[in-house]
Chains A and B, each alone.
Chain A
Amino acid sequence: MAVLQPAASGRRDMTDEERNYLLLQRARSLIKHAVLITFGIAFMLPFVWMISSSVKPNIDIFEIPVRLIPKSLRLENYIDATNAIPFWQYLWNSTYYTIFATIGAVLSNTFIAYGFARVRWRGRNVLFIIVIATMMLPFQVRMIPLYILFARIGWLNSFLPLIVPNFFGNAFYIFLMRQFMMTLPKELDDAARIDGASEWGIFWRIAVPLSKPAILTVAIFEIIHTWHDFIGPLVYLRHPTKYTLSIGLRLYFTQYGAEWGLLMAAAAMFTIPMVIFFFLAQRSFIEGITLTGLKG
């Protein structure tokens, strides 16, 4: 078949082989999308179910068969949820914890990583290996003595045990920032030194501005971590006025397990700040995870 068209038309028919190839390509792409869409929907279903339940009136919640799209809306669930639990108090506590934990993580790890990445001194590498080694230590080993220590100095039921350690660096973040800082050109430091800059000046004027992507990554990771944190507040915060959303929501569930409309509304209000945050910082998010030690 493969007939060539006259040159004037500027086109020719595809050969069978080309056509088959294209068909195969199209079929493969179709299957790929079908698989991805199926799994994608499955992955989003829990969130859709959360939102859907959060706007259903109580009668519709307990309806058989289940209905993913609510037949009637009851947005008052959201208002009721904020009244059923001291929602604003919990929200403030979660926010407070997240803000100060993140400030601590950003300040301390940038500072410490600079000492490991850009200043040369004897013992630096040995110490850095110790930093890495501490990552192997499970939280559970430190949990009990720290609890007793903080109880003895009267820090229980305050955010201090959760926030203060953040001002002293974290192995994973130090590692991440050091790897990043080592990729910055040394010549900048040398030039600044010749111009008479002190070590502090180099840190503040050169390393910090150039390390913004890594600093942002640490901030993002820490914001997610503290906002989600469950075991930390569970161990240290025993007084209801100090509860974060994590603890408060779970407590509400253990007391009023069947109030699914309100529970899902509260869960949605707990989740949505993270979603907004993700869309604001999406690129840094993805780059941050990729940067987590996998890029040279």
Chain B
Amino acid sequence: MGGIARLSMFKLKRDPADQPNSWRTDNLPAWGLFFVAPWIIGFVAFTVYPFFASLYYSFTNFNIINLTPRWIGLDNYVELFTADPLFWTSISNSIRYAALLLVFATVFDIFIAYLLSQDVKFLSIYRTIFFFPVLVPVVAASLTWIWILNPRFGLMNGLLDLIGIKGPNWLASPNTAMYALIFIGVWGSGRQVIVYLSGFNDIPRQLYEAADIDGASGLQKFWRITLPLLSPQIFFNVVTLIIFSLQSFSEVYIMTQGGPANSTLLYAVNLYNRAFRDYAMGYASALAWIMFLLILALTLLIFKFLSGRVIYER
């Protein structure tokens, strides 16, 4: 695999000739701009404009009755923090969902990838199986899971019956719905297995052999060799999983619509309801901005605390 120099998602490639005063830098920017132009146009139209428009809308009353946005200052934000219980419910649901999914998916995926990295036979079959859920369209998967979790005729409780357990009504009980969704999230995290597997495969064998000679135990090898050398993959997966799970929408919207009793009302579902069910566009924009700031803060925190521990070169 060559794995000498590795770059993670967050470590950019450098162009060695990219120094000031290099003879090449006097290239006219014209060609560069020519190629990059589509991105610049799209950036202005589909990112910069909506970014500022959404900030503006968040300070306005803008809904199905007031079709032109009317400036109301911080009112949306004040309402959101002081008078909207669903805001707090959804924020705590989303954090719980993201945190639990992160823990379970990371531990499970590293475990499976570790087993797959041990020269197993039929590797490509196993790999396909664990990746398979990624291929099932989210609507097809969600409907199938609703049917599996059907309390009377579903597969899940049918299997539990075999061992004498009476399963709950998974998606209709506030005690189990969230865990069912997290379980389904772990089932769908096969991309991460592939990423971890490539990380395991890049760890040079000699390191383990050297550790064996030094009499290291299995656990020591795991903490001192495997985990540090897997850190780029862990970092990448953790960051992307947090960002994506905080924005999770489709599965939950299809399977529970946030219920029962708002126990699975994730932030993005609440936001969608406000925007496209209640047509409270101004209010929903304020929700979107809080979400953006939350994700930004979390990402920066992770970068600050984790990126220093990531080992890229070996």
Residues from chain A with a CB closer than 8 A to the CB of B145 are: 46
Chain A residue nearest in CB terms to B147:
A260
B215 an interface residue at 8 Å Cβ cutoff? no
Choose one: A47, A62, A120, A124; the contact of B136 (CB below 8 Å): A47
B129 to chain A minimum Cβ distance, whole angstroms, is 5
* Size class of the B contact interface (CB-based, 8 Å): 35 or more
Q: Give the distance to chain B from A276, nearest Cβ to Cβ, in Å.
A: 10
Question: Are A294 and B42 touching (Cβ within 8 A)?
Answer: no
CA A43 – CA B134 in complex, angstroms? Answer: 11
Could you tell me if A47 and B35 are in contact, using CB atoms closer than 8 angstroms? no
Whether B137 lies near A245 (C-beta < 8 A) is yes
Asked if B285 is an interface residue, CB under 8 A from chain A, the answer is: yes
Interface string of A118-133 (1 = CB under 8 A from B): 0111111101101110
**A27 interface contact, C-beta 8 A:** no
- In angstroms, Cα B271 to Cα A230, docked, is 16
Interface members, chain A 174-206 (any B CB < 8 Å): 174, 178-179, 182-183, 186, 199, 203
Q: Does A50 contact B (CB under 8 A)?
A: yes
- Interchain CB contact under 8 A, B54 and A145: yes
How would you classify the secondary structure of chain B's contact residues: helix, strand, loop or mixed? Answer: helix
Whether B153 contacts A137 by the Cβ 8 Å rule is: no
Answer yes or no: A148 CB below 8 A from chain B CBs.
yes
Interface hit among B75-83, B114-122, B172-180: B114-122
- A146: chain B residues at CB < 8 Å are 46, 50
Q: Is residue B143 within 8 Å, beta carbon to beta carbon, of the partner chain?
A: yes
Distance in Å: Cβ of B221 to nearest Cβ of chain A: 15
28 residue pairs from A and B, CB less than 8 Å apart: A46-B141, A49-B147, A63-B153, A64-B153, A64-B158, A115-B32, A120-B17, A121-B32, A123-B29, A124-B36, A136-B299, A138-B246, A138-B292, A140-B292, A141-B54, A142-B47, A145-B49, A145-B54, A148-B281, A168-B41, A168-B43, A179-B13, A224-B134, A228-B138, A263-B143, A263-B147, A294-B7, A294-B198
> Interface of B with A (CB < 8 Å)?
5-10, 12-13, 15, 17-18, 22, 24-25, 27-36, 38-43, 45-47, 49-51, 53-54, 57, 112, 115-116, 118, 120-121, 124, 126-148, 152-155, 158-159, 161-162, 187, 191, 194-195, 198-199, 232-233, 236, 243, 246-247, 249-250, 253-254, 268, 271-272, 275-276, 281, 284-285, 287-289, 291-292, 295-296, 299
